[in-house]
């Protein structure tokens, strides 16, 4: 009880100190002044993000010079969702919020306004096909995509080269002879495992080298520092599926995507217990049972998933959203060479793009939705989108003209960035089947996630895949 009273008192204090700042002006058509308030999780994640954000702010102030912009860092998790419920109750929501997989729940709770009054069909047509589908309900648009980042296979080429070189020199090329073109393991082209079967084979070969040596350490000399050594414990693949949390459960969908990703039926209802999805999860379960993969990561006090670098950087393959992984890697003191590739797909399977997209919507508390919508237009301008792709850490543009310009540029402005992210951008461009959260989420989002995590843990511990998925579908029916 005392804890509850303290929580209420803290919220009251926050309300008194920041409540009056919410809302940008009185009359919606008034451009004379006010503050545009934004809850965002990405404005200053990297220096490149901040530079692009500054471009958007400058564009906005050319039209609204007297409206200031106040951004509060809010990670989009259950705590943020609960905060929104409180501020919605007192009509003090910020003007603009990140929505992502919470969009449908926010619409049903009445947090977001219909954007169709403020945008044209021509504006909608500028986006990559498929990106608006997941935020359109009953024919109305409720959020705008600002950037995207697809789920990808991250290959630790530094470690793969060292492993292959050791195998070639010490074991006679017993396991890794076809990992690189030619025998020059320091400079040869890495042969990306384009199918799940090839990825499994390379994971097994890596573990065989580890088992034969009983110790496989990577020591990479850092500039101006000593040597760092890391033990892999024999695992060749890492994905955060054994831990609790939103991001961990989401990443598990990647294995389904490798075999088709038929998450919804023609009516948009959750549909997991289909043959392709069962096969994908059984593939992951096989990696677990053979000791080729294990979960990683921990949840920090602010709810953000973080990595155990000593383990993750000594693992040759990871499945993750490349932008999230790169941000964590960038903050570490380790300089291993990771390369990004689309998820390997079984033959004949269509590609499903799993997105870590940022969507933003305008709340019912906003007094000047025209100004708020214009700021979202600035974030989706060609200038912002181009700068973000070029200078941020692994962000993909969402405007089709910018995507087309980048992919067509073989030797100009985008050429260097395309060497790093071109394969993922091309995969993103070629597919309209885009999923940025488990479909069917409503106001009972946290209840559905809890049951999804239980489903993942059942599979991780060797339970029946088809049984776990069927139980999950049955359990969540009451929340849909």
pLDDT at 247 over 60: no
Q: What is the mean pLDDT of residues 406-432?
A: 90
Selected residue with higher pLDDT from 447 and 90: 90
- Rounded-to-10 torsion of CA 125, 324, 73, 80: 90
Count the alpha carbons within 13 Å of 406 in the hemisphere toward its beta carbon: 31
H or E, element range at 29: none
H or E, element range at 144: strand 144-147
pLDDT at 50 over 90: no
* 229 and 162 Cβ atoms separated by less than 8 Å: no
Rounded to 5°, angle at Cα 291 from 288 and 296: 70
52-87 b/e (C-beta count within 10 Å ≥ 16 → b): bbebbbebbeeebeebebebeebebbeebbebbeeb
Residue 309: what pLDDT? 46
- Rounded-to-10 torsion of CA 232, 235, 241, 247: 50
Residue 130: what pLDDT? 85
Q: Percent of the chain at pLDDT above 70? A: 70
How many whole angstroms separate alpha carbon 22 and alpha carbon 132?
27
Residue 438: what pLDDT? 57
pLDDT at 267 over 70: no
Residue 139: what pLDDT? 94
Residue 251's alpha-carbon distances to 40, 218, 320, 435, in angstroms, are 22, 27, 7, 12
- Rounded-to-10 torsion of CA 373, 107, 358, 397: -60
Domain ranges of the chain: 19-149+356-428, 151-242+268-354
pLDDT band per the 50, 70, 90 thresholds, residue 123: very high
How many whole angstroms separate alpha carbon 285 and alpha carbon 152?
19
Domain 19-149+356-428 shares a fold with domain 151-242+268-354: yes
Q: What is the mean pLDDT of residues 265-283?
A: 79
Determine the topology of domain 19-149+356-428 in CATH. D-Maltodextrin-Binding Protein; domain 2 (3.40.190)
pLDDT band per the 50, 70, 90 thresholds, residue 223: very low
Please tell me the CATH code under which domain 151-242+268-354 is placed: 3.40.190
pLDDT at 20 over 60: no
pLDDT digits (tens, 9 = 90+) for 74-89: 766 666 667 788 888 8
pLDDT band per the 50, 70, 90 thresholds, residue 455: confident
Rounded to the nearest integer, the mean pLDDT of the chain is 78
pLDDT digits (tens, 9 = 90+) for 146-161: 998 888 888 888 888 8
How many whole angstroms separate alpha carbon 263 and alpha carbon 442?
16
397-430 b/e (C-beta count within 10 Å ≥ 16 → b): bbbeebbebbeeeeeeebeebbebbbbbbebbbe
């Amino acid at each position: 009880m005392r804890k509850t009273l303290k929580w209420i008192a803290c919220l009251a204090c926050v309300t008194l100190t920041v409540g009056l700042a919410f809302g940008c002006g009185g009359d919606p058509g008034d451009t004379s002044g006010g503050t545009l308030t934004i809850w965002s999780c990405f404005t200053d994640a990297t220096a490149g993000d901040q530079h692009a954000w500054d471009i958007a702010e400058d564009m906005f102030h050319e039209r609204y010079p007297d409206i200031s912009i106040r951004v509060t860092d809010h990670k989009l998790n259950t705590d943020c969702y609960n905060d929104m419920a409180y501020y919605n109750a007192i009509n003090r929501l910020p003007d603009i919020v990140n929505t992502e997989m919470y969009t449908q729940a926010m619409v049903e709770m009445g947090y977001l306004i219909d954007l169709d009054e403020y945008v044209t069909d021509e504006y909608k047509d500028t986006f990559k096909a498929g990106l608006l589908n997941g935020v359109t309900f009953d024919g109305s648009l409720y959020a705008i995509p600002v950037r995207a980042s697809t789920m990808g296979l991250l290959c630790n080429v530094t470690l793969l080269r060292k492993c292959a070189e050791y195998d070639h020199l010490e074991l006679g090329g017993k396991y890794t002879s076809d990992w690189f073109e030619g025998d020059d393991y320091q400079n040869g082209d890495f042969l990306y495992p384009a199918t799940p079967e090839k990825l499994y084979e390379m994971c097994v070969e890596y573990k065989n080298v580890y088992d034969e040596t009983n110790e496989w350490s990577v020591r990479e000399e850092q500039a101006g520092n000593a040597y760092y050594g890391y033990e892999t414990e024999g695992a060749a693949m890492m994905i955060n599926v054994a831990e609790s949390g939103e991001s961990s459960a989401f990443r598990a969908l990647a294995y389904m995507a490798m075999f088709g990703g038929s998450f919804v039926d023609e009516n948009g209802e959750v549909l997991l217990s289909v043959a392709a999805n069962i096969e994908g999860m059984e593939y992951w379960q096989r990696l677990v049972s053979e000791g080729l993969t294990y979960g990683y990561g921990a949840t920090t006090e602010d709810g953000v998933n973080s990595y155990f670098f000593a383990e993750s950087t000594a693992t040759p393959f990871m499945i993750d959203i490349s932008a999230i992984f790169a941000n964590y890697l960038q903050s570490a003191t380790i300089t291993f060479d990771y390369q990004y590739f689309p998820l390997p797909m079984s033959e004949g399977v269509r590609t499903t793009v799993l997105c870590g997209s940022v969507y933003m919507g305008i709340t019912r508390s906003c007094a000047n939705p025209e100004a708020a919508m214009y700021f979202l237009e600035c974030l989706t301008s060609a200038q912002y989108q181009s700068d973000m792709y070029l200078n941020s850490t692994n962000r993909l543009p969402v405007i089709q003209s910018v995507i087309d310009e980048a992919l067509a540029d073989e030797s100009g402005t985008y050429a260097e960035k395309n060497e790093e992210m071109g394969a993922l951008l091309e995969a993103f461009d070629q597919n309209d089947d885009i999923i940025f959260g488990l479909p069917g989420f409503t106001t009972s989002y946290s209840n559905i996630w809890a049951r999804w995590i239980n489903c993942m843990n059942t599979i991780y511990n060797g339970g029946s895949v088809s049984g776990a998925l069927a139980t999950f579908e049955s359990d969540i029916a009451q929340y849909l």
